[in-house]
Chains A and B, each alone.
Chain A
Amino acid sequence: MLIAIHAVVLLGEFIAPYNYAVQNREYSFVGPTRIHLIDRVGHLHLRPFIYGLRYRSPDDVEEGEQMYPIRFLASGAEYKLAGLLPTKTHLFGVDQPAKIFLLGTDQYGRDQLSRLLRGGQISLLAGLLAAALSIGIGLLFGVIAGYYGRFSDEVVMRLAEVFMVLPWLYLLLAVKGFLPLNLGPTRSFLLVIVVIGFVGWARPARLIRGVVLSAKERNYVIAARGFGASDLYILRRHILPQTAAVVLTQATLLVTTYSLSEMTLSFLGLGISEPVPSWGNMLSSLQQYHVLTSYWWMFAPAFPAILVFWGYYTVANSIQERTQ
């Protein structure tokens, strides 16, 4: 299931009928489009269809008379599939001027489904990259501390403690304060990843250090050293494989933690900036009372997030069970 969600998200732009940033200004906070098989006079249609929307006032948009069949592999806005193949084909769509909003629209009339998928790319990628970054740093420092011990151990571990007590939220605020104002979406995305990943290396480093410490006392390591093996050889051949289990479990756990961190930051308006969506900044509109009470489809990003987190925890669990 976890793979399925990732695949869906990866192919997000194909599945999404529209560009995430396009505003349909007459259709603000419109509920999910209803898909019909039977029309108003009672005829059954084999191809599902929708009714076009009719705008009356900002709070009064309803289904019109005109019917529009749903077309599969429809042509729409240009994009790059999985970031590589330029194409115009979308999984489904309807003819202009009708619009299909399977998960409704947000305040600006942007398609929630398209944003949800794009937001998933951002949130999950942020989690993966930040996890990779902090595991990378954690591995480096953990091995140095564990293997070389003594002085370097002291330095690295005290440094790790410093990082563990760093309040990352305020750190990010401070970092943002120093940076130039016109930080593009890409750079603010990278900034979020770097800050989250960089602050989080301490915990994996400590765990890895522990594993390295016990591994280097093993007889075969001592034997290898007796035969004159270099440090690099011993690390590569005997010690790093020992840490694999810890690294994998940690990585899966960290992906969820960091995805959640990204969502929290974006929810608070400190992370990914408009118009680029992330699950966090999509949910942030729920901070407003009227959205919370009136537009239930704005909760949409919460559900895939829950599934993804649950999936990652299950994976982490099974890795742990298998390796023990």
Chain B
Amino acid sequence: MTQLRVCRRSRTRFVLIRIAAVLITSAVVLVHNAHAEGDEELLTSKADIGTAGGGLVVAQRVEPKTLNPVMALDVPSREVIWRLMADLIHINRQSQQTESALAKAWTISSDGRRYTLALRRGIHFSDGHPFDADDVVFSFQVYMDEKVGSPQRDLLFPGGKPIVVRKIDAYTVEFQLAQPYGPAERLFDTIAILPRHILEKSYQQGSFPETWQLNSRPEQIVGLGPFRLKEYVPGARAVLERNPYYWKVDRAGKKLPYLERITFLFVGTDDAQVMRFEAGETDTINRISPENYLALTKTQNGKYQLYDLGPGLEYNFLFFNLNDIGQKFPQISGKQVWFRDLKFRRAISYAIDREAIVRLVYRGRGTPLWQPVTPGNRLWLNSAVPKPQRNLDRARDLLRSSGFSWAQDGTLVAPNGERVAFSIIVAAGNASRVSMATIIQEDLRELGMRIDIVPSDFRAMLDRVTNTFEYESALMGIASGDVDLNSDTNVWLSTGSTHLWHLHELRPATPWEAEIDRLMQAQSISTQFKDRKQLFDRVQELIADNLPIICLASPNILVGAKVNLGNFRAAILEPYTLWNADELFWR
């Protein structure tokens, strides 16, 4: 679904795992209700009390690429890994706020640059080895090491300078930042705390990126998450068992998790996932397409419940190749004259029937978009951005005022006499994006443009978009990893690695790109929510106004689970369903 996230590591690294920001005033102290059992400082879950036992079966489309949390980029890997791992401060996927995890409390200095975290005492890794500040220091060292090449590394360099991590005592760690960081403690979410006693050797030998692969021995993979790996059968399944050393308890003081096992089955396709769920072979399902959601509703037999969580964070968009390609592809650079013409892009935006996209592609379970923030992101959405309805007359006026005209047979003719025709490249594997392209093709035909749709293998498409620049326009989607818009910095900064329409800009190519750069930098060091919101509002306006990407629509997050699964609370933040796997139980 989030096509962009199935990425490869290359020079232009796609860091789409985003960490984010929140409403933090200058200094906050949070002390969570710590439950002491012996000398263990455990966290008490607020969820309903359940009964222990049973297992959960989930079907996943493809198998993980790695089990190494530092190296994992793709959704399938992270889906499994994050049941095994834990972070210091965690973003609650439902409330979208940060909450205590391995750090029981933290303080932020008044200048916003120093974070002091107090760790839980007396807790253990899944192999029984005790956890302390050395593991934290080691983990950050690994994440920030250039030789390791973690895709999350950039996030730990706010303002381009590394975070200095210092151990104060066995259970206190201090993080010193070179400049204040807007998203504040959201930084710590999804940074896995690694077992130093297991991994230090391979790290020092330089073989860290190759450790914890799919063929590693299960008992070697040790973490602080609610489950631990029991068995991995390549291509077939991963079986996770309950971690008896987990650091959360329920309100009755009983150790979590409730479930004995989680089994991930790798079934190959979305449709296979749906069929397994329909047959009752799997217990929860993530990312159901709107069509399959409909099919499931029809066959619903009271055994499972489907949830429409409303718009998620994914935005789909059309963009033109605005890269400086010189004379490499004369045919494309000829058309770039139109693509660079703002009136041309606006005319296209006016001509696209977004309502039809929502209706035909998402069967009504989606939202039309005019900006890269969806209504699902209530905190950051700039609702003042205009949402003009489809207006072909307006589109024609814009084209006419830019020197375009129409031939006898109705085809659009560019100022240079050429007939307007261009191609849209789209990932062939993503049926909904191919459908969007087909709708746009018909919409733009009404303006007299000839559009060729080029369904292409995802990797081939990414290669054209990020390396060779041999494309005219492309239809893609991005799913932000967090509600905080700082997570999309790579897309908006003119130097960003995901600044898709114009990569490797030496200096901002347009005044508005320069303004976005300034705004993004300003928000990243501001710690006031109000200020940051204002800055982001302006970014959204600039994008909607200048249309480097023409936003189209956002699908609702559709999930399902068996009715007797307790504490099932799906959220629009990834991983949607299993984020509270430690609290799930069978009624």
Give the B-binding residues of A (Cβ under 8 A): 21, 23, 25-26, 28, 57-59, 107-109, 177, 180-185, 269, 273-275, 288-291, 293-294
Contact = CB atoms under 8 A, between A and B. Distances in A.
Interface in B35-54: none
Contacts of A291: 291
11 contacts: A28-B359, A59-B363, A108-B438, A108-B442, A109-B360, A181-B470, A275-B438, A289-B271, A289-B275, A294-B295, A294-B298
Given A25-B439, A184-B421, 19 more contacts: A21-B445, A28-B360, A58-B360, A107-B360, A108-B360, A109-B360, A177-B460, A180-B331, A181-B470, A181-B471, A182-B422, A182-B454, A184-B450, A185-B452, A275-B438, A288-B271, A289-B274, A289-B291, A290-B295
B364 interface: yes
Interface stretch (B193-201, B233-241, B423-431, B546-554): B423-431
Nearest to B289: A290
Given A108-B438, A290-B294, A293-B295, A58 B422 contact: no
A51 to B, nearest CB: 22
A25 B359 contact: yes
B441 interface: yes
Given A183-B452, A184-B452, A288-B291, A275 B359 contact: no
Contacts of A290: 289, 291-292, 294-295
Contacts of B359: 25-26, 28, 58
Nearest to A188: B452
Interface residues of B, number: 38
Contacts of B441: 274-275
B513 interface: no
Nearest to B291: A290
Contact of B421 (A59, A108, A182): A182
Contacts of A294: 294-295, 298
A58 B452 contact: no
Contacts of B439: 23, 25, 108
Closest 8 CB pairs of A and B: A289-B271, A290-B291, A182-B423, A290-B295, A181-B423, A25-B356, A182-B452, A58-B364
A291 B431 CA distance: 12
Interface in B439-494: 439, 441-442, 445, 450, 452-455, 460, 470-472
A288 B434 CA distance: 13
Interface in B522-567: none
B582 interface: no
Nearest to A173: B457
Contact of A273 (B360, B450, B452): B452
A59 B359 CA distance: 9
Contact of B442 (A182, A183, A269, A275): A275
Contacts of A293: 295
B583 interface: no
Contacts of B438: 108, 274-275
A183 B439 CA distance: 18
Contacts of B452: 181-185, 273
Contacts of A183: 452, 454
Interface in B294-350: 294-295, 298, 331
Interface centre among B359, B423, B455, B472 (most CB of A within 10 A): B359
Nearest to B332: A181
Contacts of B460: 177
Contacts of B291: 288-291
B297 to A, nearest CB: 9
Contacts of B289: 290
A152 B189 CA distance: 72
Contacts of B294: 59, 290, 294
A59 B364 contact: yes
B435 interface: yes
Interface in B81-125: none
Contacts of A21: 442, 445
B353 interface: yes
B267 to A, nearest CB: 12
Contacts of B364: 57-59
A26 B364 CA distance: 11
A275 B270 CA distance: 25
Contacts of B363: 28, 58-59
Contacts of B453: 273-274
A290 B331 CA distance: 40
Contacts of A273: 452-455
A25 B353 contact: yes
A180 B438 CA distance: 19
Contacts of B271: 288-289
